[in-house]
Structure 1
Amino acid sequence: MNLHKVWFGCKRLIRGNVCGLSAKEGTIVAGLFTLVTSIMHLIFESGNLRLYKLTNYTSSNEKVSFYVTLHQFCLTSIGLVTVGIFAVFALFLSIWKEVYWGIAGYIVWIVFFELGQMFLLIFFMPKHESFPKTMNAMESTGMVLRCIVEVYWIIFLTRYTLELYRFQQRVDDTVKVKQKGSQRLKFGSVVEMGV
């Protein structure tokens, strides 16, 4: 593996010219990716919640405790994903209005969302013999893959945020220059000038 090729590839990635996508297009696709994965996550967690509601858990206190934990886990995860869907629509609105702080806020939200999902999965995922191990593996695999792909999309989001920020700074600078240059000169009367 050649280090020069890797460095050149990283520079292309930071410039936003990857797979024929500009920074803005990559930001839109990042939002679409998050929207699709959020909907898939909602379907998955609602299936777990349906498992909770359909199962008769009157047999033992341990099983009741497990299903209550599963219920709380699913509802918390569904709540996080629902807020994430609203964040995606806020991202699309920020792209449309070209508001750089909205896109930067979305980047911060993605980081906190993934950390929250990781925290939820590690500490609050119910562990019981009636809960299939494959569910835990699916949750973990989905989170890891989503995190890897989110890192890729964050590069586009960051690049587009920087482009909008620089453009906004140039616009503000030209407005300030125009305001300074457009001030009218005050001429005093002939008496005030001492003529």
Structure 2
Amino acid sequence: MINIRTFWTGIKRLLGGTICGLSAKEGTIVAGMFTLITSTLHIIFESGNLRFYNTVVNLTSSEAVNSAFFKTLDLYCYMSIGLISAGIIAVFVLFLSVWKELFWGVGGYIIWIFLYEIAHISLLVLSLPNSAYFPKSMYALECTGLVLRILMQTYWLFFLTRHMMELYRFNRRAEDPSKSKKKVPPKLKFGTVVEMGV
């Protein structure tokens, strides 16, 4: 049974960047690498789906080729590959934002993650046709990949959010000259031997 207190302690540690020995910046970079790797694998998977559909089209009759199933299937694959390609571009924008310390770039990537996952869910639910030509194993792989990616993105969002907040505070401090001045500790005054009573 999970204790609420230990759960919140773990969340605070995670927001502090002490889980797995990663700081918020390092976690943000690893989150980008994770998205880059999963996007590359997803493009390979969708390219394989396109090859499968082309094989089925070549083996079936011309009436089946003109059916709405194959048109929807092609549309699904091309839309999915286009969305993944936009996600890869977003990852490189994230890396640039981390390098240049731009909080709006990291914040924009967080928003992009939500839009990306919502678009993929909509694409999977609405565009992928149910037909005897489409193997159930591929549909199961699509759904499993989506669920696992969403779970991992949720984990990485903690690091992204923490790093964005750190960059925001840093930029505000840099813009405000009164906060950027270093406070000098007061000078110590040393008394003479007579004043010290020695």
Q: What is the TM-score normalised by the length of structure 1?
A: 0.86
For each residue in 1:89-146, what CA deviation from the matched residue of structure 2 results, as whole angstroms up to 9, or x when unmatched?
0000001100000010000001000000000001111210111011111100100010
Q: Paired residue for 2:196?
A: none
Choose the corresponding residue for 2:117, options 114, 119, 123: 114
- Alpha-carbon distance in structure 1 between the residues aligned to 2:144 and 2:128: 14
Q: Which runs of 5+ in 1 are unaligned?
A: 179-195
Q: Paired residue for 1:89?
A: 92
Choose the corresponding residue for 1:103, options 101, 106, 109: 106
Cα 1:19–1:103, aligned 2, differ >3 Å: closer, same or farther? Answer: same
**1:11-26 matched pairs, under 5 angstroms:** 11-26=12-27
For each residue in 1:22-57, what CA deviation from the matched residue of structure 2 results, as whole angstroms up to 9, or x when unmatched?
000000000000000000000000011111222224
The Cα RMSD (Å) is 1.7
- Alpha-carbon distance in structure 2 between the residues aligned to 1:150 and 1:10: 15
CA contact (8 A) 1:23 1:159 kept: yes
Tell me the secondary structure at the aligned position of residue 129 of structure 1.
coil
Q: Does 1:45 align with 2:31?
A: no
Counterpart code for 1:36: I
Q: What is the TM-score normalised by the length of structure 2?
A: 0.85
Identity %: 53
Q: Paired residue for 1:165?
A: 168
- Alpha-carbon distance in structure 1 between the residues aligned to 2:179 and 2:22: 34
Alpha-carbon shift at residue 61 of structure 1 (Å)? 4.0
Q: Paired residue for 1:185?
A: none
For each residue in 1:153-184, what CA deviation from the matched residue of structure 2 results, as whole angstroms up to 9, or x when unmatched?
01100000000000010111127988xxxxxx
My pick for the range that moved more, 166-175 or 67-76, is: 166-175
Alpha-carbon shift at residue 59 of structure 1 (Å)? 4.6
Tell me the matched-pair count.
178
- Alpha-carbon distance in structure 2 between the residues aligned to 1:7 and 1:24: 22
Q: Does 1:141 align with 2:152?
A: no
Choose the corresponding residue for 2:79, options 76, 79, 89: 76
CA contact (8 A) 1:58 1:64 kept: no
Cα 1:177–1:27, aligned 2, differ >3 Å: closer, same or farther? Answer: closer
